[in-house]
Structure 1
Amino acid sequence: MHVDEAIRSRKSVRRFLPTPIPTSVVHHILDVAARAPSGNNVQPWRVYAVAGEARQRLCDAIVHAATHEADRHLPEYAYYPTTWVEPYLERRRRCGFGLYASLGIGRDDMAARERQMLRNYLFFDAPVGLIVTLDRRLNTGSFMDLGMFIENILIAARAQGLHTCAQAAFAWFHKVARTQLPIGDHEILACGIALGHEDLSAPENAFITERAEVDAFASFHGF
């Protein structure tokens, strides 16, 4: 798959088929992704790949925490702003409204919205889940390094004919993840990633977010 096609066809898939993914394929994706650049080549990331019973135990533990003690859990970094401004607020709204509309969930149907949110912690039924961490002893620049590494995972997965969903929602339940995985105290749980084959029959997977045109975010000087 040409890299342009891999990038353009990447999307957040929110329902996967149960088709198993061989360990060798997951290993290959991570091996390719590890070519991501990082300041002074520090490579500040770690990945915990889960499948089978290990995946189920992690999912069960987080779903239980999310439904019984959610107010006790907070992420170790601020992903979203405390105050939204434009154009980001409108983009966020269009994304949320579009997703729930594709699922037939009304704006006031909070129970259905909660059920959909909880599906994050099942990796949207993907057979493989990745938990990605960052070494907290580093600094803000390493978040840029981590972002490039995560993007490489998503694109390398497309090159294997697979799909993904990057999920910051897992960051809220880092304490639970630590009971299931050997995550060190010096690591920040940055996100999870669902990995598998797209369920083409799922209406939510037909929802594709738009992107701003180049002229809306870039200016050219001296060309």
Structure 2
Amino acid sequence: MSTANRFDIPTPEQTANVDAAIESRHSMRAFLPTPVARQVIEDILRVASRAPSGTNTQPWQVHVLTGVARQRLSDRIMAVYDDPTELAAHSEEYAYYPREWVSPYIDRRRKIGWDLYGLLNVAKTDKARMHDQHGRNYQFFDAPVGLMFTIDRVMQQGSWLDYGMFIQNVMIAARARGLHTCPQAAFTQFHRLIAEELQLKPEQQLVCGMSLGFADPAAVENGLVTERAPVAEFTRFLEG
């Protein structure tokens, strides 16, 4: 356990380490097969559980998949994903994205898509390769660890806000240990299949999935770093 005093002023080195963990985090889409020790996963989740939540409700529930369990889930999803008839029977349980896109959000969405496909030399008309690349989600981009996050259906919008902070903590704690992640809403389309495979209770709702492992430094797609708007673009300072 950490011996840091919660009232201490961080040293410049500590501040730089935290900033580095945050700024070096970006979604990886290709991982090495190198295993991640269970103790490391537990340490990441323990640290992440310090995320704030309204009245300390701690709404997160995590399902860790490795080895045969991870591969079995991937195989089941891919069998459906590659079958247009079967795929049509699966849809998201909640709307992650807006029903009507407006600028600047649609512009950012399009840019990351074409930036990724550009790195992979996937043409705009190459639907087969786009399908294959999207399907990489369901193979956890070859990461040895897959995480599934669920929440009790009784919890409301505020708890989903809390959940986002927990997921961010998972990703930052992973970076502090030399690991990378890819948070994946793509899994929500297959929530019924995932609930079956993980034997979830009816009151558990899938929030999203995540790939966790050591990033493949040779994979060209891992060179994609998305742009961020400058602080002045999304911030107002009201003084006096």
Please classify the TM superposition score into its range, dividing by the shorter chain length: over 0.9
Alignment pair present for 1:133 and 2:138 = no
- Confirm or deny that 1:191 pairs with 2:208: yes
Residue 179 (structure 1) shift: 2.0
CA distance in 1, matches of 2:236, 2:195: 44
> Do residues 58 (structure 1) and 73 (structure 2) align?
yes
Match of 2:33 in 1: 18
Q: Does 1:171 align with 2:188?
A: yes
User: How far is the alpha carbon of 1:182 from its aligned partner?
Assistant: 2.7
In structure 2, how many angstroms separate the alpha carbons of the residues matched to 1:77 and 1:122?
22
Stretch deviating more after TM superposition (181-190 or 111-120): 181-190
Displacement of 1:27 in angstroms is: 0.6
Match runs of 1:25-40 below 5 Å: 25-40=40-55
**Following TM superposition, where does structure 1 have runs of at least 4 consecutive aligned residues deviating by more than 3 angstroms?**
none
Matched residue SS, 1:122: helix
- Say if 2:232 is the partner of 1:218: no
Residue 10 of structure 1 aligns to a residue whose secondary structure is coil
User: Aligned partners of 1:32, 1:64: CA distance in 2, in Å?
Assistant: 36
Counterpart of 2:201 in structure 1: which amino acid? G
Identity %: 51
Match of 2:107 among 63, 73, 90: 90
How far apart, in 2, do the equivalents of 1:75 and 1:184 lie? 18
Q: Any idea what the Cα deviations from partners look like across 1:71-126, whole Å, max 9, x if unmatched?
A: 11112110011110010010001010101101110111000000001000000000
- Report the CA distance between 1:161 and its aligned residue: 0.3
Mapped to 1, the partners of 2:177 and 2:40 lie a distance apart of 8
Whichever residue aligns with residue 33 of structure 2, its letter is P
Unaligned runs of 5+ in 2: 1-13
Q: 1:180 aligns with which of 184, 197, 207?
A: 197
Deviation at 1:184, TM superposition (A): 1.5
One-letter amino acid of the counterpart of residue 95, structure 1:
I
- SS in structure 1 of the partner of residue 88 of structure 2: helix
Kindly state the Cα deviation for residue 151 of structure 1 after the two structures are TM-superposed.
0.4
**Residue ranges of structure 1 left out of the alignment (5+ in a row):** none
CA RMSD of aligned residues (A): 1.0
Please state if 1:107 is matched with 2:124. yes
Matched with 1:41 is 56
Q: Distance in 1 between matches of 2:152 and 2:228?
A: 31
Q: Number of residues paired by the alignment? A: 223
Give the whole-Å Cα distance in 2 for the aligned partners of 1:39 and 1:65.
Answer: 38
